[in-house]
Structure 1
Amino acid sequence: MTTKLTLTMEDGVINSAKKYAREQGKSLSDIVENYLKSIAAPEEQAEELSPKVARLMGIITLPEDFDHKKEMGNLLMKKYK
């Protein structure tokens, strides 16, 4: 069942949200509904991975001693040298 909901927000927020929805090819209602579902979902559901992320699981194998924080630091230092 679908029910209409009226929200009051600042004009700038509404305009930005409408632009974002248009760029995503979705309706603003869909975006708001999905957001509300995500924050109202039980904790065990909130921890589930999206299908896109789940498909990426396991495609890269890294050494046991791989330190992602160290690698990110090295990359950032190299970038901003």
Structure 2
Amino acid sequence: MGLKKLTLSVEEGVIEKARRYSQAHNTSISRLVTQFLARLPGRQKRRDSPTVRRLVGILSESADVAEYRRHLEEKHGR
């Protein structure tokens, strides 16, 4: 995968700290940022709330938790 340029606005003190750290560790600020961002967790699947789990058992067989979640997201805009 190729690299793309990214422009960030960062406080001056943070930039200086990053420069010193990158020089001391023989790396670049770009590499530091890349390593940090690569460690961020991916999108996590949300768990069903206890209320949804309780209601699923009393709904008809054709009812689906994912379907109910979509309904709630559409209704409440989440």
* TM norm structure 2: 0.50
* TM norm structure 1: 0.48
- The structure with the larger Rg is 2
Counting helix residues as a fraction of each chain, which structure ranks higher?
1
